[in-house]
Structures are given as structure tokens and as C-alpha cells.
Amino acid sequence: MSKFIFVTGGVCSSLGKGVAASSLGSLLECHNLTVAMMKCDPYINVDAGNISPYQHGEVYVTEDGAETDLDLGNYSRFTKVQLSQANSVTTGKIYEAVIRNERAGKYNGRTVQVIPHITDEIRRRIMNVAETSKADVTIIEIGGTVGDIESIPFLEAARQLIRKQGRGNALSLHVTLVPTVTGGERKTKPTQHSVKQMQEIGIQPDVLLCRAEKALDDDLRNKIALFCNVEKNAVLSSVDVETTIYELPLSFHSQGLDTVVLEKLGLAGRTADVSSWEGFISRLRNAKKTVTIGMVGKKSDLEDCYKSVREALFHAATARDVQLRIEKIDAEKLETCGDVSEYFRGVQGIIIPGNYGQRGFLGLVAAIRYARERNIPYLGIDLGMQLMAVEMARSVLGWEDADSTEYMPHTTYPVISLPEEHGGLSSGGMVRLGNKTIKLTEGSLIASIYGEPEIIERHRNKYEFNREYTSRLEESGLLVTGLSSDGYLAESFEWKGHPWALGVQFHPEFVSRPTEPHKVFSSFIGAVAGIGDAAE
């Protein structure tokens, strides 16, 4: 039967619970254990699909098409877990299920309450992930902070499970803050109060992970252990990393986090092999060459909006033994400047990730034209692919109002539109989500990258390229080199005669890992850096 680790947070949000949970999961895998990971989000939204990226960062999409919190992206990058909609639970999903059961009469007329009905549904979903995955250890991250009214049902469900499973089969890992105040003094009181709140709801933390600027000294650890009723060896530091979050697994391992957790779960005596993390960090620190990628977007001021794309570029660059520098370029500024080249000085490659909305549209088109005409390596994802067709139609064919019907419903040349608008199979205006099969054109760049005729990649899009314009655009140099399994929807574009240009309708960033960079990003970085065969 699976063991359980509940990861909670206190004092304030954004302390790194998701990265801590992911790092611990990775370390347990290094001990040759299988891991399942789950996120319990207290917001009432059913999923993250309709939440603004300004509030919650990017939406991560699972294989089966669930739109989830970005922390699942961390789980995927740090561990080998196979994620599905079952691994993401929200208050909205829980209440939706309970209300549906009540309407169906499944509670036999009883009054429906938070306890036991809501907490039972939370527990049922946690147990389902553990039993379905057959994992040795199931890690459950509970969003928000202790004391938030929204988190109470999830914490109560965790308390019940810890009590039912027993201390040797379930534990609580609490992430807190040890701030440094004016004068350089570090304060443990916020951590003490946070643990006290956990104790008040019936959970005694077994392990404390203290976020701090630098590692806690013995005096601080002794003090926290005494006042929080936690063993000293279970009070550990989560320090600000020098370069990348991928330093954390080794940092936690050096402090013995995995050893402490395994002892408390009755799994002691295993040896960890962390060589893959050591190799990654070594390559990162010893890279001699630097490449600069211009990332053109509408939300360039918010790091989490394009988190998976940034991480995928970083994975590929490190694997290619080069340092990565990302130049954030605001698409709206490109719309109003006289010469876009001033924004691309020193840029060796251009990428446009997935975007939504009309804002910055003309700036994105201008960036694509610049990459095409200057022979700069270009990678377009989702909208970044679609606008390759719009740019070619406008710049080469002279169709000045060529557009997407998302932005201009009555355009003369709707090169991008909903499938039902151009005679395809009706999608009912639904977003195409999750894994889809793609057929690649023999001899194309994308076929050489993958080395196989068919691939499976993850999608999140509603609008598609209108195949009515295929022949005219291909005559002008825009090649359709990937098609959906039914042969109807365009999945990839390339520019004829360009050194390296690829637009993909899917999202390769969702399946890239530090030690396994995605082939598309690896090829792109190789082309930018001029390293060997860029299609490797």
C-alpha cells in the first residue's frame, strides 16, 4: 500500500511548496521508489482553464486534456510521474461531485455537510490516485496557506488520512518562512505561529522546510525544533538558489531530507543515485558559450506566464553545453516602433509561445516577418505557428486583411479560423486538449527532428489553419509539414529555404525535462548555437 506525504505551507504564499514537493518526489525516485503526485487547490474554479495567467501563471495541460495548475508542470519536469486529470483537484471539482451525488439521491436524504461529505470526497480522490498509480509514495500538495478559510476542508481531509494510515505510513511536511528583518536578524516566530495553526487543526508537522535567504544555523534549528515539537534533524533549510530551481534536489539531499522522510515512513536503508542531477548541474556550470533567445509575447513582465517554455529552452541549452539568455520582448512595443530591429540586437533566435487575445497581434506578426526575412532561427508554438500563415499571407501574397476570425470575424482572408468555419469537422467551439497523433511529411525539418513518421504531442487550441489556403501559401514558401491523424488539420509549418524555422500547433514544452530535453527545443537551440546537426 502507498505511503503518503502531505505538503502544506504557512506564513505566506509562493514559498515554493510545489518545487519542494517535486524535488522530494525526484529524490525518492533516486532511491528507486515509485512516486505519484497530486495537487489540491482551494480555489472554487473547476480547473485552471479560465483563470487569468496574471493571477495564476500558465495553464499546464495533461495527456488526457486536463487544464491544471502550473505546479503539475513542476511535477512533470522533476519526476517521471504520468499526470492526468485525477492528479489535479480543486474545491470546484469536489463541490461539483458532491452536489451531483446529492441531486442523484446518493446520500439517502441526509443533510450534506463539509464534514463528512466534502472531506470524504477529497479523501476518496487521494486514495484513488494512490491505488490507481500503485506508487510506493503518494505526495499531496495542498495549495494556499494554513489559516486560509478555503484550505480548511483539504487540511481536515489530510488530518483524517494521517490518523487513519498511522504515523509510519503518512507524514506532514510543512513549508514555512524564516525572514530576515532590518539589521540582519532572522526571526523564527512566523514559523512557530504557522506550526501552531497546524497543531490547532490536529496536524503535527513531522518535517519543517524553512525558506530562508541562507541555511539555518544549529541555534536556529534547535530553537525551531523545541518550540514546534519537531526533531532537530527534521528542521531543514530551503535556501534561495544561486542559478536554478534544479539545484534544490541536491541541496535537500545534502541536508538529508530524503533520509529523514524515508526513516519516518519505514523505508530506511536505501541508497540514492543522484548522478543525473549532478550531471545536469555540472553541465550548467561548465558551459562556455552563451546564446540569446528573443521571446516575443504579450505578458513578458510575468515569468510564470511562459514558465514551461522557458524551462524547456533551459533544458535544451544545458544539454547543448551552452548558457541561455532570454531577452523578453513586448509585442505591443513592436507595434508602435518604427524599426523592430532595435529590439532584436544581439538576438540569435526568436520564439513566440502560445498566446490568447488580440493585444500585441501586429507586433507578433512583425517579429515573425523579421525572423523570416533575416534568416534568424524561429520557433512558433500554437499562435506562434498560426501567425506564420497570417504574416505570409499579408507580406508575400498581399492580402492586407488576412487574419484570424478570433480577431477579425469578417476578414476577406480567414487563414485562421474555427474548424466549422472552413468546412471541417465541427468542434463545437471547443478547445482541442491533450495528446493527439500527428503525421509528419517525409524529408521535412520536423520529420528529421523526430526521426519517425508519426508522433504524439499535447495540444491546447481552438482555432486552426484554414486548409483552403494551403496551395497558395505553399507556392509562396510556407510549407505544411505535419497533419492531424485524419489528414485535415495543419500541425506544423516551415519556411522553404530558411535555415531553421518551425511552427507547431502543439505544445512540446509540456513534456520537456532537465535530463530529457524535448527534441524540438534541442534542435532549435542547436540551430541558434550553430552546434553540429541542428536536427539531432
- As a whole number of angstroms, the distance between CA 169 and CA 136 comes to 11
* Residue 501 three-state SS: strand
* Structural fold of domain 3-279: Rossmann fold (3.40.50)
Residue 419, pLDDT score? 87
State the DSSP code for 37: E
Q: Give domain limits for the chain.
A: 3-279, 287-529
Q: Are strands 432-440 and 414-417 parallel, antiparallel or unpaired?
A: unpaired
The pLDDT score that the predictor gives to residue 240 is: 86
Q: What is the pLDDT of residue 536?
A: 40
DSSP state of 112: P
**What's the rounded Cα separation, in Å, for the pair 518 and 533?**
15
CATH of region 287-529: 3.40.50.880
Q: Which amino acid, 142?
A: I
Closest alpha carbon to 352 in 325, 328, 317: 328
Nearest partner of 310 among 249, 257, 356, 351, judged by Cα? 351
Residue 132 is predicted with a pLDDT of: 96
Distance CA 39, CA 213 (A): 26
Beta-strand ranges (E) seen in 298-413 are: 322-330, 349-352, 378-381, 403-404
pLDDT of residue 222: 96
3-state secondary structure 1-28: CCEEEEEEECCCCCCCHHHHHHHHHHHH
SS3 call for 132: helix
Look up residue 1 and give its three cell numbers. Answer: 500500500
Question: Which residues, 6 or more positions from 501, have their beta carbon under 8 angstroms from its beta carbon?
Answer: 371, 372, 377, 378, 379, 388, 445, 493, 494, 495
Question: Measured between alpha carbons, how far is residue 219 from residues 194, 235, 236, 254, 258 in Å?
Answer: 20, 11, 13, 19, 23
Q: Which residues lie closer than 8 Å to 517 by C-beta, 6 or more apart?
A: 312, 315, 316, 318, 319
Give the cell for residue 410: 469578417
Q: ∠192-18-187 over CA atoms, to 5°?
A: 25
Grid cell, residue 531, equals 552546434
**Strand positions, DSSP E, 169-222:** 170-177, 207-212
pLDDT number for residue 139: 98
Average pLDDT along the chain, 536 residues, taken 10 residues at a time: 95 90 98 97 90 81 93 96 95 96 93 96 97 97 94 96 94 96 90 96 97 93 97 95 91 97 94 95 93 87 82 96 94 88 94 83 94 97 96 96 92 92 59 94 97 96 94 96 94 97 97 96 96 48
Contact in structure between 448 and 535 (CB atoms under 8 Å): yes
Residues 6+ positions from 189 with CB-CB distance below 8 Å: none
Q: What is the dihedral of CA 494, 495, 498, 500, to 10 degrees?
A: -20
**CB 357, CB 530: distance < 8 Å:** no
Closest to 473 (Cα-Cα) out of 416, 532, 408: 416
Distance, CA of 198 to CA of 375 (rounded, Å): 58
| Per-residue pLDDT at 497 | 95
Residue 329 amino acid letter? I
Q: Do domains 3-279 and 287-529 have the same CATH topology?
A: yes
Residue carrying C-alpha cell 485525477: 86
Interhelix angle 248-255/17-30, rounded to 10 degrees, is: 70
pTM above 0.85, yes or no: yes
To which residue does cell 534568416 refer? 375
